[in-house]
C-alpha cells in the first residue's frame, strides 16, 4: 500500500513539474491583430490598463477597442473589425502567459518601479503584424531569477511567492 501511495505521489509531482517546464502550447487569437499598426499611435498602456500602475495588466476589452474604432474612418476601422463587433461581440483574447497560482507578479513593480520596458518580457510585440501564439519569454523561476540577478533585484523567495 505504501508503495502505491509513494508511486502515485511521485507521478503527481512529476506531472505537475512537467506542466511547468514543457513548452507552452500555441494559442489562436480571435482576430489577426496587428500590434505594429497600433503602437505607431498608441502606447502599451493605452490598451493594456494596469501595465504601469497595477498588479495585473489587462487584455483589452471590446470597450477599449471601440473607443477608437467606433468613430474611426473605414481605413482605420476595417470592415472585418466592424463585422466581428456587430455580429459576434468584442473579441475574447486568449492569454499567452500563465503563472502558477503561488506566484505573485506585479506589473507595477517591474515597469514603474523597476524601470523595465514591456519588451523585457513581451519581446518585440510592438513590431508584430500578427498576434502572438505563445509568450516571447517563458515565465518560469529560472528565467525570473536570471533577470533578477542581472538587474540587481531582490531574490528573496517571499517577494514573489505566496
**Is the pLDDT score of 50 beyond 60?**
yes
Cα 108 to Cα 106: distance, rounded to the nearest angstrom:
5
Residue 18 has a pLDDT of: 46
Residue 68 has a pLDDT of: 76
**Is the pLDDT score of 5 beyond 70?**
no
**Is the pLDDT score of 23 beyond 50?**
no
Domain range annotation of the chain: 33-40+96-162
Give the residue-averaged pLDDT of 93-97.
88
108 compared with 81, residue with greater pLDDT: 108
| 145-158 residues labelled b (16+ CB within 10 A) or e (exposed) | eebbeeeebeeeee
Contact residues for 28 (Cβ-Cβ < 8 A; gap 6+): 94, 133
Q: Which residues pair with 161 in a beta bridge?
A: 103
Percent of the chain residues past pLDDT 90, beyond the cut: 40
71: which 3 cell numbers?
468613430
Amino acid at each position: 500500500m505504501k508503495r502505491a501511495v509513494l508511486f502515485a505521489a511521485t507521478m503527481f509531482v512529476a506531472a505537475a513539474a512537467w506542466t511547468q517546464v514543457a513548452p507552452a502550447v500555441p494559442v489562436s487569437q480571435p482576430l489577426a491583430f496587428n500590434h505594429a499598426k497600433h503602437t505607431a499611435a498608441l502606447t502599451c498602456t493605452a490598451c493594456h490598463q494596469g501595465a504601469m500602475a497595477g498588479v495585473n495588466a489587462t487584455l483589452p476589452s471590446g470597450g477599449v477597442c471601440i473607443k477608437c474604432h467606433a468613430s474611426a474612418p473605414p481605413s482605420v476601422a476595417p470592415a472585418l473589425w466592424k463585422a466581428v463587433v456587430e455580429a459576434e461581440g468584442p473579441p475574447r483574447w486568449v492569454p499567452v502567459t500563465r503563472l502558477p497560482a503561488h506566484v505573485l507578479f506585479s506589473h507595477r513593480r517591474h515597469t514603474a518601479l523597476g524601470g523595465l520596458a514591456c519588451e523585457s518580457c513581451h519581446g518585440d510585440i510592438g513590431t508584430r503584424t500578427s498576434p502572438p501564439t505563445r509568450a516571447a519569454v517563458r515565465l518560469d523561476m529560472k528565467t525570473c531569477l536570471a533577470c533578477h540577478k542581472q538587474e540587481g533585484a531582490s531574490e528573496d523567495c517571499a517577494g514573489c511567492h505566496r
